[in-house]
Amino acid sequence: MGRRIPGKLLPHRRLVSVEPYLGGGANGRSFGAAELVERALIIDSDVLVRDQYDAEVNSATTIYFERSEVSVIPTPETRVTVRAGTSDERVSHVIRCDRYEHPRIADLLEVRLA
């Protein structure tokens, strides 16, 4: 691990909680213990999708944080609480996680939520 990513690029403090997906079975999905991410960048977006009959708004969230913030890289189905402890809190699941490596700075995770 290289230098940490500057704090001004990861401005959201203690607003993301990650519960790793352990698997599913007859009793539903199973998740590990929640880990609080100390520094992150949260980007919310809404997209309007139209077809010839109706319109639907899809919400998506992308979160960036250092790899060292969590013990396990989030896999699809991992449960994530965004803006934890605020009136905008919501729970969602990971649909994609990308890891960016650089030789001189910390590894960065890009986590996309449905």
pLDDT digits (tens, 9 = 90+) for 12-39: 999 999 999 999 888 899 999 999 999 9
What is the overall mean pLDDT for the chain? 91
Tell me if the pTM is above 0.85. yes
Longest dimension (CA), the chain: 52
1-13: b (≥16 Cβ within 10 Å) or e? eeeebeeeebebe
For residue 32 the two structure tokens come to 């590990």
Burial classification of residue 104, based on how many CB atoms lie within 10 Å of its CB (0-12 exposed, 13-18 middle, 19 or more buried)? exposed
